[in-house]
Amino acid sequence: MKVAVLSPVAWRTPPRHYGPWEQVASNIAEGLIKLGIDVTLFATGDSITAGKLSAVCAAGYEEDRSQDAKVLECLHISNLMEKASDFDIIHNNFDFLPLTYTGLIKTPVITTIHGFSSSRIIPVFKKYNAIGKYVSISNADRSPELDYIATVYNGLDTDDFKFNDRPDDYLLYFGRIHPDKGTAEAIEIAKKSKRKLLIAGIIQDENYFKEKIESQLSAQIEYIGPAGPEKRNELLGKAFALLHPINFNEPFGMSVAEALLCGTPVIAFNKGSMPELIKDKQTGFLVNTIDEAVEAVNQIKTIKRRDCFNWAFSQFSSDKMVNDYLKLYRRVLNTWSNSSPLLH
């Protein structure tokens, strides 16, 4: 089977620090390669893969701002679609734009919908319902207007995370600095809990950082900047708990799964996919207010860190995700009238 994995071109695949879609695309590609599948990764030129790499740019537009994002995206997507006949199946991890080619090629396309940036993009997905082969990353993140073939949870390389049963006493906020992600709420929870808070992540909203975060920084509330893979395991593993007080219906939440794989419980606002990622009172706490989160911090020691690891390992491993997708590829190929024959 020849598979094309289409990743975004905002960041490198896998990302140096931020880039959840790129990370998932990488985990899919590398997992398939380990199973002996012939994979071509369509990503930035500085991307890393054990398979073949096809690129139209040296670096992503978020890392080289001299590039025009839309122009780069058009060149990137067309590069794959013009080679579509070389593949048995295409796995689109790049939102709705590639769908506009799917009626023009014979190769089947599976599209993982990594969330909706706006309801205004749904008409594009809706137009291609019949051939889109949509996969959601959580049951919570589904549009009633779309047809889905499955839900496949994002998977992580479990070898990248080390279980730690002896944490420090700090709380951790791990994610982009943005109102949606609840950075300010995490600070309030930490202050009311009288615990140290480490904040790690890219500043996505500069005004929010300056107005709501910067003035709160102190010996107790510390911003340490973006944390790449080399820092991630230590930060997450040593945390007393991860604070995830989101203000939107998050489609998945990679940092939640990452923390759990380290054995670190998560306290999250009960929105979006959080009930699918967190077993309330077993691997963390689902709360609705800051005061409830503070109370949850006081109850963290009732959570067994080994239970956090076991749950995440069973649900959110790269191996499970890749096997789930491979089954979908085979199902699609077996029913796709114009597809190439299934080789393996």
Name the residue among 243, 239, 299 with its Cα closest to residue 268. Answer: 243
pLDDT of residue 18: 80
pLDDT band at 230 (very low <50, low <70, confident <90, very high): confident
pLDDT band at 213 (very low <50, low <70, confident <90, very high): very high
What is the C-alpha to C-alpha distance for residues 223 and 279, in angstroms, rounded to an integer?
Answer: 29
Mean pLDDT in residue range 172-190? 97
Mean pLDDT in residue range 211-229? 94
Pairing of strands 89-92, 52-54: unpaired
Task: Give 97-150 pLDDT, tens digit per residue.
Answer: 999 999 999 999 999 999 998 899 999 999 999 999 999 999 999 999 999 999
Pairwise pLDDT comparison (337 vs 239), residue with the higher score = 239
Q: Give residue 170's identity as a one-letter amino acid code.
A: Y
Is the pLDDT reported for residue 305 higher than 60? yes
CA-angle at 265, arms to 200 and 136, nearest 5°: 80
pLDDT band at 344 (very low <50, low <70, confident <90, very high): very low
Report phi then psi at 112, rounded to 5: -85, 120
pLDDT of residue 17: 80
Is the pLDDT reported for residue 340 higher than 50? no
Are 93 and 112 a contacting pair, CB within 8 Å?
A: yes
pLDDT of residue 338: 46
Is the pLDDT reported for residue 343 higher than 70? no
Order the strands of the 134-136 sheet from edge to edge: 52-54, 38-42, 2-6, 89-92, 109-113, 134-136, 148-151
Pairwise pLDDT comparison (154 vs 343), residue with the higher score = 154
Are 113 and 139 a contacting pair, CB within 8 Å?
A: no
Task: Give 103-113 pLDDT, tens digit per residue.
Answer: 999 999 999 99
Q: Which residues contact 291 (CB under 8 A, 6 or more apart)?
A: 192
What is the C-alpha to C-alpha distance for residues 302 and 61, in angstroms, rounded to an integer?
Answer: 45
Is the pLDDT reported for residue 42 higher than 60? yes
Is the pLDDT reported for residue 341 higher than 60? no
Pairwise pLDDT comparison (149 vs 16), residue with the higher score = 149
Task: Give 65-98 pLDDT, tens digit per residue.
Answer: 999 999 999 999 999 999 999 999 999 999 999 9
Task: Give 234-246 pLDDT, tens digit per residue.
Answer: 999 999 999 999 9
Set out the domains of the chain in order of their start, with CATH numbers: 2-155+317-335 (3.40.50.2000), 158-315 (3.40.50.2000)
Task: Give 264-302 pLDDT, tens digit per residue.
Answer: 999 999 999 999 999 999 999 999 999 999 999 999 999
pLDDT of residue 254: 92
pLDDT of residue 337: 55
Distances (CA, A) of 172 to 44, 169, 227, 256, 266: 31, 10, 12, 11, 10
Mean pLDDT for all residues in the chain: 95
